[in-house]
Amino acid sequence: MTKPKHVLGISGGKDSAALAIYLRNKYPQLDIHYYFCDTGKELDETYQLIERLEGYLGKPIERLESKEAKDLQKNPFDYFYQAYRGYLPSNVARWCTKKMKLEPFEAYVGEIPTISYVGIRGDEDREGYISRKANIQSIFPFRRNIWSEEVIYKVLGNTEQSQIIGIYENFLSGKKLDKVIEIIKQPLVFEERNSDQNRRVAQEKLNLLFDQGLPEFNQVAFHYLKDKGYPISLEEDYPLLHDDEILVRDDIFRLLEESEVGVPGYYEKLDYEVDGETGQYARSRSGCYFCFFQQKIEWIWLYEQHPALYTQAMEYENEKEGFTWNQNESLKDLLHPNRMKQIKMDHLNRMDKEKAKGSKYLLDKVIDTEKDCLACFG
Ligand code: SF4
């Protein structure tokens, strides 16, 4: 039987690096291919992390680039920046992720049935920016629920109840099976145009089933998918079905430290002074140094820690056309001493509020990347 290809995208951030380490250590039998979609505009710290990770994994991390740019030997971002006539990407016009991350990944995979490992942690609530191609199936090893939302909706579907109960009968018996049947027979009731509520309803039912046995649920999902054309149906057995480990933020840092791969250099907290007070900043994400997702304090970090890159980011802006990285404020305006001071003061105040709440991971709370772009920052 043809086997699916197993792939893991390294973004240059902490979670995907930790996932590669975790899977290599725990499931060495999985022949995973690693790749990195290079925008050509990453920080040196990202490339350094990738090199250290390659050393640890003992395998190359394949660099993927857009074919169009590569054929012309152009920097990927600069090529598309010209093609889009200087129209900068933004969170409502994400041509950068599409052209430099998703398309090169899909070209790399082609039509081969592929299992793609995604580094969303057990303490996050998001699905991420993942490929929707039918031959690519995403698996989330850090979470309690390793399956994609699409798979879960199928397994929990009201029309599938008798098939799911039938498969469960191979893995559970007695009171546990009775309980599972009771849960499955409760139909999912969805509201029109209320996807958040519907997701909550499905999650509640899923949690009830997980509580009756996670490996058993995974076995049921695996067998259910057998005739549904998913890449995983090409596996006779799959080791992650038996896994009930959930990894959260602390585990990610532990994995990176214990492996000596370390966290990406841009995470290092550095002091800044403002109005006689001292705050700390860092960059919290991988991806392009000029990424429009970054917060104002990260732009200040870029200006103070990598001034040449800040200047290059400024050169992409065209104020006359309204093409700026931040809405209503150019990078030139952001450098006004009063504006820089205000950004630092705002950041300090937010840090103080988090401190008062006793929050762990102060900087991450203030510069939250969790809802951004998985392809770029995971
Ligand atoms: S890092 Fe930001 S700018 Fe770069 S591709 Fe990702 S979303 Fe776009």
d(CA 11, ligand 1 centre) in Å: 11
- Residue 251 shares a structural domain with residue 371: no
Residues 240 and 217 in one domain: no
Question: In which domain, by residue range, is 215 found?
Answer: 149-234
Q: What is the pLDDT of residue 320?
A: 94
Q: Is the CB of 373 under 6 A from ligand 1?
A: yes
Cα–Cα dist 158/153, whole Å: 9
By 3-state DSSP, what share of the chain in percent is helix, strand and coil, each rounded to 5? Answer: 50, 10, 40
Residue of 333, 329, 335, 332 lying closest to 300 (CA atoms): 335
Query: In this structure, are 368 and 249 located in the same domain?
Result: no
pLDDT at residue 284, rounded to an integer: 86
- In a shared domain, residues 159 and 278: no
Ligand 1 pocket: which of 94, 372, 376 to mutate (most atoms <8 Å of CB)?
376
Tens-level pLDDT at each residue, the chain (378 residues): 689 999 999 999 999 999 999 999 999 999 999 999 999 999 999 999 999 999 999 999 999 999 999 999 999 999 999 999 999 999 899 999 999 999 999 999 999 999 999 999 999 877 666 677 899 999 999 999 999 999 999 999 999 999 999 999 999 999 999 999 999 999 999 988 898 899 999 999 999 999 999 999 999 999 999 999 999 999 999 999 998 899 999 999 999 999 999 999 899 999 999 999 999 999 988 899 999 999 999 999 999 999 999 999 999 999 999 999 999 899 999 999 999 999 999 999 999 888 887 665 555 655 555 455 566 666
Same domain flag for 128 and 245: yes
Ligand 1 atom closest to Cα of residue 285: 1
Together in a domain, 57 and 121: yes
Provide the mean pLDDT of the chain: 92
Closest to 17 in 3D by CA, of 245, 365, 292, 251: 251
pLDDT at site 293: 93
Q: How far is CA 114 from the centre of its chain?
A: 18
Q: Is the pTM of this model over 0.85?
A: yes
CA Rg, the chain, in Å?
Answer: 23
Whether 17 and 135 share a structural domain: yes
CATH of residue 43? 3.40.50.620
Residues 289-301, buried b or exposed e (16+ Cβ, 10 A)? bbbbbbbbbbbbb
Residue 145 CB–ligand 1 contact under 6 Å: no
Measured distance CA(1)–CA(236) in Å, rounded: 9
CA-CA distance, 377 to 369, in Å (whole number)? 8
Same domain, 52 and 162: no
Cα–Cα distance measured from residue 8 to residue 3, given in angstroms and rounded to the nearest whole number: 16
pLDDT at residue number 364: 60
Ligand 1 atom closest to Cα of 290? 3
Q: How many distinct structural domains can be found in the chain?
A: 3
- Verify that 101 and 17 share a domain, yes or no: yes
Helix (H, G, I), strand (E, B) or coil at 285: coil
Quick one: tokens of 203? 């999650």
- Domain termination residue (choose one: 218, 243, 259): 259
Q: Are residues 175 and 203 in the same domain?
A: yes
Encoding tokens for residue 350?
């937010």
Nearest residue to 208 (alpha-carbon basis) of 175, 224, 189, 186: 186
pLDDT at res. 370: 46
Are 305 and 346 found together in one domain?
yes
Are both 112 and 243 inside the same structural domain?
yes
Beta pairing, strands 5-9 & 114-117: parallel
Give dist(CA 340, CA 154) in Å, integer: 50
pLDDT in tens, 169-197: 999 999 999 999 999 999 999 988 898 89
Q: Which two tokens stand for residue 256?
A: 């990176």
